[in-house]
Amino acid sequence: MNCFRGVEGKDALLCMLTDKVDTEVMDRAGKQLKVISTMSVGYEHIDIRECKKRGIAVTNTPKVSTDSVAELTVGLLLLTARKLLEGNQAVKKGEWGKWKPMWLCGVELTKKTVGILGLGRIGFGVAKRLKPFGISRLIYHDVCAMTEADDIGASFVKFEELIQESDIICICCNLTPQTKHVFNMKTFKKMKPSAILINSGRGGVVHHDDLHEALTSGEIAAAGLDVTEPEPLPYDHPLVNLNNCVVLPHMGSNTWESRNAMSETASQNILDVLNGKRAVGEVDS
Ligand code: DGY
């Protein structure tokens, strides 16, 4: 949605992930506009090329939501792998009967190969948190190999190897033309039938119709999504009612700690740019 109200004559705009900031908004703001500060890590809602053309600085809030999103990713993985939501729903619906040996059996993280797509701050935070679970192998794919990966014993692999070898895949990357819909039916067919896919990066990395087909036909075992395409995902979307798919409403950074730090960073970014300083969150356009 375009965010027009109150933008006229402003030197700085503070926006959210859900505010589309395009040429119309910039025109409406006027030629004095110097900075657009988004209270988010992602900035795909801002027309960066147009900002560059007009000399408008764009800033985001990097670093401050790394821990909250990494924690949620691990939580979502546990919810999905151990069928925790199904268990809770069964209790609420009065379906908790006599103990049954095969009821609500999930899989352990112990001795599994974990693959991370996107070993940025969040991917690294997820990998670091998963190591103590006793996973057997940590692999990752990104645009290039990262030196920090050695600190946690993660090995760089090609995308093909990541999808074929991983028992658990965590998508922690941005949405770019290269990552758009990289998880599609062709990809799912190469994954293990027991594989679990977790997405806390961006919804557009996964083709959702193909994911539904993969989850219902048994190409992969389960998925946990904190980000979807579209957002919000309609409550009657076919993925929502699958038992092997846990959908959360994009709440990775929803902690008081992150929100406070994000709002402070977003405001400080504006002050820094207006005062001629390099802002911590300045996005290289
Ligand atoms: C971000 O900051 O980009 C997150 O996805 C929103 O919490």
- Predicted confidence (pLDDT) at residue 100 exceeds the cutoff of 80: yes
Does 170 reside within a domain?
yes
Asked whether 265 lines ligand 1 (CB < 6 A), one says no
Assess whether the C-beta atom of 203 lies below 6 angstroms from ligand 1: no
The ipTM estimated for the assembled molecules is 0.95
User: Which tokens go with 54?
Assistant: 């007009």
Judge if 103 and 161 occupy the same domain: yes
The reported pLDDT for the residue numbered 2 is: 61
- Cα dist. 4→7, 10, 52, 235, 269 in Å? 6, 11, 20, 29, 21
- Any domain includes 34: yes
Q: What is the pTM of this model?
A: 0.95
> Which pLDDT tens digit goes with each residue over 33-65?
999 999 999 999 999 999 999 999 999 999 999
User: Closest ligand 1 atom, CA of 251?
Assistant: 7
Residues 125-181: pLDDT tens digits? Answer: 999 999 999 999 999 999 999 999 999 999 999 999 999 999 999 999 999 999 999
Domain check: are 56 and 178 in the same one? no
Ligand 1 pocket: which of 229, 253, 255, 265 to mutate (most atoms <8 Å of CB)?
253
Residue 123 lies in a domain: yes
Question: Which positions are catalytic?
Answer: 250
Per-residue pLDDT band for 4 (boundaries 50, 70, 90) equals confident
pLDDT score recorded for residue 56: 98
CATH number, domain of 194, equals 3.40.50.720
96 and 80 both lie in a single domain: yes
Residue 192 lies in a domain: yes
State if residue 72 touches ligand 1 by the CB under 6 angstroms criterion. no
The number of distinct structural domains making up the chain is 2
Element of type H or E holding 71: helix 66-81
Give the domain range for residue 94. 66-247
| In 189-277, beta strands by DSSP E | 196-199, 222-225, 245-247
How many residues are given for the chain? Answer: 285
Both 189 and 81 in one domain: the answer is yes
Q: Is residue 121 located within the same domain as residue 206?
A: yes
Asked whether residue 108 falls in the same domain as residue 236, the answer is: yes
Identify any residues that bridge with 20 across adjacent strands, giving them in sequence order: 2
Classify residue 3: in a domain, yes or no: no
